């Protein structure tokens, strides 16, 4: 799938020339010059995605809120999480690291006479149909994310980190990136392994992740919105995903692990379409994890991890 060249490419090229390359030169890191444009372009995509999410979600959150709060400090912390993830961590991890890993893997396989993995070689009719291939990439990544998410609730050690995400009692569209850094690292390695296995091109990988995360941001929004009986079964809505974040009543189990498509929950019988906008949070999480600053939440996650042993 071709990557748009205007205006993002021009902007990324300008930022690379005036900021990124001079910084690499001063830091003695010019060996990374060959990936500097790709990193900058992904960072520009991340900023654009944040602006788009803000433009779409803020008016809806103000017009149709599920809850209204007086103090919003926890939300401001989530804004920092989002900026760090979309502009800092995501470009580095989803482009630079993924690109380096793919180059090494392809070289390793080629030296031993193997063809590097590609989805088109697994499904030959996909050759010449980049749009269909791109959609299949998204479906496969979303399927992988369903199981990553479900397993993070299954294992106590893993959930000790994932609890940082669930501790938020003031959930908004900013809350999607509220994750412990180790949980984020596990998620990236999970995605990277799948991406390498099906041969996603390096510059398409971060674009795919950003597109999926836009839907995830919207599904976390503080919006009293359902997509209706049919729509709720086609795309994860704020109502569907809020049920996953809701405080569990007696006898209830966690549900709705899907990030973008509810189909996986329906297929594996973890879907619940009956819960209507419950309060969010994790009653077992320490207060620092719910309302503390970024460092306090990260430290709280590590403490919980140690205690889980």
Domains of the chain by residue range: 8-308
Provide the pLDDT for residue 249.
Answer: 67
Provide the pLDDT for residue 250.
Answer: 56
pTM: predicted TM-score of the whole model, two decimal places: 0.89
Mean pLDDT of successive 10-residue segments in the chain (309 residues)? 61 89 87 83 87 95 94 91 84 77 86 83 86 92 96 95 96 96 92 90 83 93 94 96 86 89 96 92 92 96 93
Provide the pLDDT for residue 27.
Answer: 86
- DSSP structure string for 63-108: HS-S---S--HHHHHHHHHHHIIIIIIHHIIIIIIHHHHHHHHHHH
- Contacts of 153-160 with CB under 8 Å at 24 or more apart are 153/254, 153/257, 156/308, 157/305, 157/308, 157/309, 158/183, 158/186, 159/308, 160/301, 160/304, 160/305, 160/307, 160/308
CA angle 154, 155, 156 (to 5 degrees): 120
For residue 126, what are its two tokens? 């996909």
Q: Tokens 């189909």 belong to which residue?
A: 263
CA distance 78 to 75: 5
Provide the pLDDT for residue 6.
Answer: 61
Q: How many DSSP H helices and E strands does the chain contain? A: 16, 0
CA distance 242 to 254: 11
Do residues 204 and 193 touch, judged by C-beta distance below 8 A? no
């Amino acid at each position: 799938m071709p990557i748009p060249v205007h205006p993002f490419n021009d902007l990324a090229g300008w930022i690379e020339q005036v900021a990124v390359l001079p910084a690499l030169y001063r830091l003695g890191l010019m060996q990374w010059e060959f990936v500097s444009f790709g990193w900058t372009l992904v960072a520009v995509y991340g900023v654009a995605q944040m602006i788009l999410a803000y433009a779409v979600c803020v008016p809806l959150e103000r017009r149709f809120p599920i809850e209204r709060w007086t103090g919003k400090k926890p939300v401001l912390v989530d804004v920092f999480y989002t900026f760090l993830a979309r502009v800092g961590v995501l470009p580095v991890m989803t482009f630079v690291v993924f690109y380096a890993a793919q180059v090494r893997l392809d070289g390793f396989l080629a030296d031993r006479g193997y063809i590097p993995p590609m989805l088109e070689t697994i499904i030959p009719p996909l050759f010449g149909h980049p749009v269909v291939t791109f959609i299949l990439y998204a479906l496969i990544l979303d399927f992988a994310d369903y199981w990553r998410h479900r397993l993070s609730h299954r294992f106590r050690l893993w959930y000790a980190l994932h609890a940082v995400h669930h501790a938020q009692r003031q959930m908004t569209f900013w809350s999607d990136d509220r994750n412990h850094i180790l949980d984020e690292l596990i998620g990236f390695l999970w995605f990277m392994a799948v991406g390498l296995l099906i041969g996603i091109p390096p510059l398409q990988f971060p674009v795919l992740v950003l597109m999926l995360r836009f839907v995830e941001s919207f599904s976390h929004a503080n919006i009293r919105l359902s997509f209706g009986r049919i729509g709720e079964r086609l795309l994860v809505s704020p109502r569907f995903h809020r049920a996953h974040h809701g405080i569990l009543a007696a006898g209830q189990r966690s549900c709705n692990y899907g990030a973008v498509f509810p189909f996986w929950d329906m297929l594996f019988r973890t879907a619940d379409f009956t819960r209507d906008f419950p309060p969010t949070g994790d009653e077992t999480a320490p207060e620092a994890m719910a309302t503390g600053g970024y460092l306090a939440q990260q430290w709280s996650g590590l403490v919980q991890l140690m205690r889980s042993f």
